[in-house]
Amino acid sequence: MMVVLLILLAVASRLLPHAPNFAPVAALGLFAGSVYSRRAGWLVPFAALLLSDLVIGFYHPMSMFWNYLGFAACLLLGSGMIGTRRTVVRLAGATLASSVAFFTLSNFGMWASGYYPRTLAGLTECYVAALPFFRNTLASDVVYTAALFGAYALFTRLAPRGEGASARA
């Protein structure tokens, strides 16, 4: 039930008006990779992306591939860097790493899709042009990661014994 709720909240957050690059999908990848089983972990962010892209509209396939790959990196970082060892230091490191990974991969996709000259200068131009968007990416990743993991920690402390166990169990 929680998986469906997270997917619906992520879809809604992408469909409702928001600042550019201020969405919870990367944080959701970190959270799902850390908290849920492998199957549910992959389902949460990618179902949210696919459902919202059905409404928003699909875009250039090459660019879309690299964006989805960036979100996959977030999920893998959640599983690998955080896992069940959910400390503030691990969360902060994984959040920063996921923001950088998504920025690097998604903008490489913009360059590879032909939006910039396929030269080193074109790639540099692409990354420089994307820097203003990185601020919102990092800010949203920090806010949503703190909210998701904070709510989860609170729930696991307040839930009756046996109900707050990790979804991995």
Instruction: Write out pLDDT tens, residues 72-92.
Output: 998 899 888 787 788 899 999
For 58-105, the three-class secondary structure string (H helix, E strand, C coil) is CCCHHHHHHHHHHHHHHHHHHHHHHCCCCCHHHHHHHHHHHHHHHHHH
Whole-number pLDDT of residue 161: 67
DSSP classification of residue 159:
S
Whole-number pLDDT of residue 167: 52
The Cβ of residue 76 has, within 10 Å, a number of other Cβ atoms equal to 17
Phi then psi for residue 162, to 5 deg, are: 95, -20
Structure tokens at 67: 């964006």
Nearest to 115 by CA among 134, 129, 103, 101: 129
Q: How far, in Å, CA of 62 to CA of 97, rounded? A: 23
Cβ atoms of 77 and 97 within 8 Å: the answer is yes
The mean pLDDT of 96-120, rounded to a whole number, is 94
Residue with tokens 């839930």: 159
Structure tokens at 36: 């849920």
Q: CA-CA distances (angstroms) from residue 63 to 76, 107, 131, 164?
A: 20, 8, 17, 39
Q: Has residue 168 got a pLDDT over 70?
A: no
Q: How long, in residues, is the chain?
A: 169
- 93 pLDDT band, cuts 50/70/90, is very high
Instruction: Write out pLDDT tens, residues 46-74.
Output: 888 889 888 887 777 888 888 888 889 98
